[in-house]
A and B are shown apart, each in its own frame.
Chain A
């Protein structure tokens, strides 16, 4: 098995080389945690080397090493520290270097540590500790909400100059400039029950559903299952939670119909219970087998979905609540208990609920001083507060943290008492020294996927949060995702949801009891959103630097709609999608408006739940794999002959066959001239081919083509023009009558699929009474065009029956014969696109190459040469034949000089609307020829035609150049163009302006047929 190193190999030794390794992880606790202490992992942050353990995230390893400032903020460049532990993290966004590739805005909290990981901080210059743009913070009063809109809007044309500076000063990480070198895969998953989240509720749900025999997928974002049990270690079924998780996961993994996916974030919930998950396959390891992708997209189709997505803690807003050291309370607990790292020496807990007391207990147990628990509630009598008091921790009821002190690190807090009406006391605040503030404003159920599924979350007064509403799809939420705040409820809800989901999916689960737990009861939380009196630098959305003052200003300026306010202030618009800020923002807006939160609105969540790399969606479909490649039967022959190939839709076609280093122009000029003078052969297998059979076949042709078909005899072929129903030209091609009820239609290469779908629609929907079948035979027939004055002589050598079969009598102009060529049963059409005597030979695809090679050999004495699409283009432009540049979806038959083809004796698609006056206006731009007054040109396709050589200001455009070529027959450049007034301008001199290259070329309007106007060359 070959092994690949992430990034450039030379980057790997950075941490082992001369850089001194700092004293090892001073903030790592001596015991505890689920990290592997026997391992040592080296990584760098901003070029400095550190170590961590297997089981660490980048965030926990940074904390272990005492790195407190990890980022500068988006707008004010304020120093920021680690705030959370998961995808809710607003601050700790870093750039991960992977060789040439770099991934910006990666959350350190969800990045697993691996050997050689190299991370950089963002949005700072020159360094995190000393950031010159920090000056923005001093002038923040001058940069309120809408600052950019207000200040830089005028004068408008200067915005492009302002914007560059603003982008530089305010921002996130920089995207890599090189292509993403990683590989991504897509997988399709089908299951009866999808359980999202492997916390207690999710595991209980998966067990209940899995035991019934239902195909279950259990998807978990984290590398290990457990969810909240990774930090809270109550007993389940009489055993420590970790043991229960181990046992349950072992049971699940033993069931062959259950699939457990870790490191897999379900980020999107779409119609018909289709969900999408991204699995991080190799992001967390330094070396991996080359066949493994970086990440894998799972498209999951589930009969039933259980959303056990948990809840996200939200902060309480106070002044300087963004200082490094201010963290979510459960995050602090997670760092202590799961990762065994201490975010500080001395903590203050600020809460409005019982759960944060668990953090106090965990810190105390780990030997960290808890200076005080500041609880905004007037009383807290539950088992957890009691336990905290019993340990001698000071518990301040009815108090709040007004502001944090310190800059690069919290140094203390100022505490105020809240009076009965919940306003701050006027007494001067008390100061408490600390280096960590663990804050909890309650929990918001993670309703994102429920909302994406079409459900509308409902505001729950008891939870002071939005909980899932009515299900619109086959989904149900369970556990903390519903607002449940006790372990026993989570387990029961999960168990019941799993049973119900299995039943609904058609299984018969046996009645069973949910796992039991005996966790302490929690008293109700009491909402506190914004600490009274906190007016300055009180951050609501920390990632986007949106303060409570910004919301107040937006409110004063009349932004009453939540949707407007959000966009004006950018609240919740960051990469975290406001996971910790939306609820506070909404509550503060409601208070400003003096109305209830329920009335103020909610947020509609859209995929993705967490940022997903674009490469995940592309999967393997990049570069040449972006779309299928179609090759003609002669493809390898062309390549072997040195042809330069060109894409034509999905097809690869030979563009030209350079000889001795010829230029494109030299090659196609030679090839085209050779067709005019002798004979050439071109691969036309890419044309669309449709077999049409049935007694009413001619009726179908009469209705889909604008011209007449009834008179076409068996053995004859005719040019046909199709319109769209709006009267504009759709496609052109030829159709041959092979038998009484059998026709063979060709379409342009570009429109082959569209024409077939069009015919199928007409036959199945509009005229189901017509007895006709249409079948695409594009793949079944290869084809070639043999063109030039010597073509008949060459054909005579390979066609069955020789010269007689190739004669004008046997195969007249626009005749078709089913006959052997080189021993292969073929269809030979006498028709021309080049204007020369020409034959199209269609052969069964598996034998086309044989015919092609036989024709090449037969033509060697005449110097038969293959020609490519460039020469074909030159020949058709000389003849004024239209192609896709002329059939551009805007042109009528009249514009193309083919108005006379439109039959007035029958109904056909497009007939009625083609007669609209504007489409018949003689002043429409019509197809004409152009030649440059100075033979040197230059002429360019796309040039605009104007009447004056020095166009300035608003100059009326009177047409455009659609196609141009160098004409070997005429010895100068020629072009097809659409010219207003058409033939009335014959002989006029116009100017072809091509401002992109600052060119204006004088041109003369001529007939659109440059060569052999009489058609003498192909009739002979």
Chain B
């Protein structure tokens, strides 16, 4: 049972969220190579430990969150709005 501290709603059980995959990839530009596109769509690191990932607070505020989680211990180091994280890029 994960507990995710949504920046908008507070601590919530993970059953309110859906998992949205690794946050370590960014959508390439149209000019990117085929390989970059294939990597974006298909290739993910299977991290043991630190992992950046998206969660969607689908039963709550419907905001996408960027969560830094340890895949071994399930400890969550940080949660921030994905929009804010995207703005920083």
Contacts and interface: CB of A to CB of B under 8 A. Distances in A.
A207 to B, nearest CB: 29
A730 to B, nearest CB: 13
Given A757-B56, A760-B56, A768-B87, A274 B37 contact: no
B27 A766 contact: yes
Interface string A759-784: 01100111010000000000000000
A472 interface: yes
Contacts of A757: 18, 56, 58
A907 B42 CA distance: 19
Nearest to B58: A757
A472 B73 contact: yes
A912 B30 contact: yes
A726 B30 CA distance: 14
A272 interface: yes
Most B CB contacts (10 A, CB to CB) among A725, A761, A912 go to A912
Given A272-B74, A760-B62, A907-B30, A765 B83 contact: yes
Given A760-B64, A765-B64, A907-B30, A272 B3 contact: yes
B82 A764 contact: yes
B23 to A, nearest CB: 8
A647 interface: no
Contacts of A907: 30
Contact of A726 (B3, B27, B41, B54): B41
Contacts of B86: 764-766, 768
Given A725-B41, A760-B64, A913-B38, A272 B27 contact: no
Contacts of A472: 73
Interface string A271-309: 110100000000000000000000000000000000000
A287 B57 CA distance: 45
Nearest to B85: A765
A271 B75 CA distance: 9
Contact of A454 (B1, B73, B82, B87): B73
Interface string B1-12: 111000000000
A992 to B, nearest CB: 34
A913 B41 contact: yes
A271 B83 contact: no
Interface in A11-70: none
Contacts of A271: 1-2, 74
Contacts of B18: 757
A270 interface: yes
A274 B2 CA distance: 9
Contact of B54 (A272, A725, A753, A765): A765
B50 to A, nearest CB: 17
Interface string A467-490: 000001000000000000000000
Contacts of B42: 726
Nearest to A776: B62
Contacts of A272: 1-3, 74
Contacts of B30: 907, 911-912
A274 B54 CA distance: 23
Given A272-B3, A274-B1, A907-B30, A761 B64 contact: yes
B27 to A, nearest CB: 5
Interface in B23-70: 27-28, 30, 34, 37-38, 40-42, 54, 56, 58, 62-64
A508 B41 CA distance: 53
A274 B15 CA distance: 13
B79 to A, nearest CB: 14
Interface residues of B, number: 28
B1 A764 contact: no
A410 to B, nearest CB: 47
A753 B58 CA distance: 10
A598 B52 CA distance: 37
Most B CB contacts (10 A, CB to CB) among A274, A726, A764, A911 go to A764
Interface residues of A, number: 20
Nearest to B20: A761
A327 to B, nearest CB: 39
A270 B64 CA distance: 25
A922 B76 CA distance: 48
Contact of A765 (B1, B2, B28, B82): B82
Contacts of A911: 30
B62 to A, nearest CB: 6
A271 B63 CA distance: 24
A907 B30 CA distance: 7
B64 A764 contact: yes
Nearest to B84: A768
Nearest to B27: A766
Contacts of A764: 63-64, 81-83, 86
Given A271-B2, A913-B37, A913-B38, A761 B74 contact: no
A270 B83 contact: no
A912 B86 CA distance: 22
Contacts of B34: 912
Nearest to B36: A912
Most B CB contacts (10 A, CB to CB) among A725, A765, A913 go to A765
A773 to B, nearest CB: 11
Contacts of B58: 753, 757
A725 B42 CA distance: 10
A757 B60 CA distance: 13
A840 to B, nearest CB: 27
A761 B83 CA distance: 9
Contacts of B20: 761
A11 B57 CA distance: 51
Given A272-B3, A454-B73, A761 B41 contact: no
Nearest to A727: B41
A764 to B, nearest CB: 4
Contacts of B74: 271-272
Nearest to A915: B34
Nearest to A756: B62
Nearest to A188: B13
A766 B2 CA distance: 26
B3 A761 contact: no
A765 B52 CA distance: 14
Interface in A896-915: 907, 911-913
A766 B3 CA distance: 25
A693 B42 CA distance: 32
A725 B28 CA distance: 11
Most A CB contacts (10 A, CB to CB) among B28, B38, B41, B85 go to B41
B60 to A, nearest CB: 12
A49 B31 CA distance: 84
A667 B81 CA distance: 52
Contacts of A760: 56, 62-64
Contacts of A766: 27, 86
A725 B73 CA distance: 32
A71 B27 CA distance: 64
Contacts of B40: 725
Contacts of B1: 270-272, 274
Nearest to B81: A764
14 contacts: A271-B1, A272-B3, A272-B74, A454-B73, A472-B73, A757-B18, A760-B63, A760-B64, A761-B56, A764-B64, A765-B86, A912-B28, A912-B37, A913-B41
7 A-B pairs with the lowest CB-CB distances in the bound complex, closest first: A274-B1, A764-B83, A764-B64, A765-B82, A271-B74, A907-B30, A272-B3
Interface of A: 270-272, 274, 454, 472, 725-726, 753, 757, 760-761, 764-766, 768, 907, 911-913
Given A725-B27, A765-B64, 5 more contacts: A472-B73, A760-B56, A764-B64, A766-B86, A913-B41
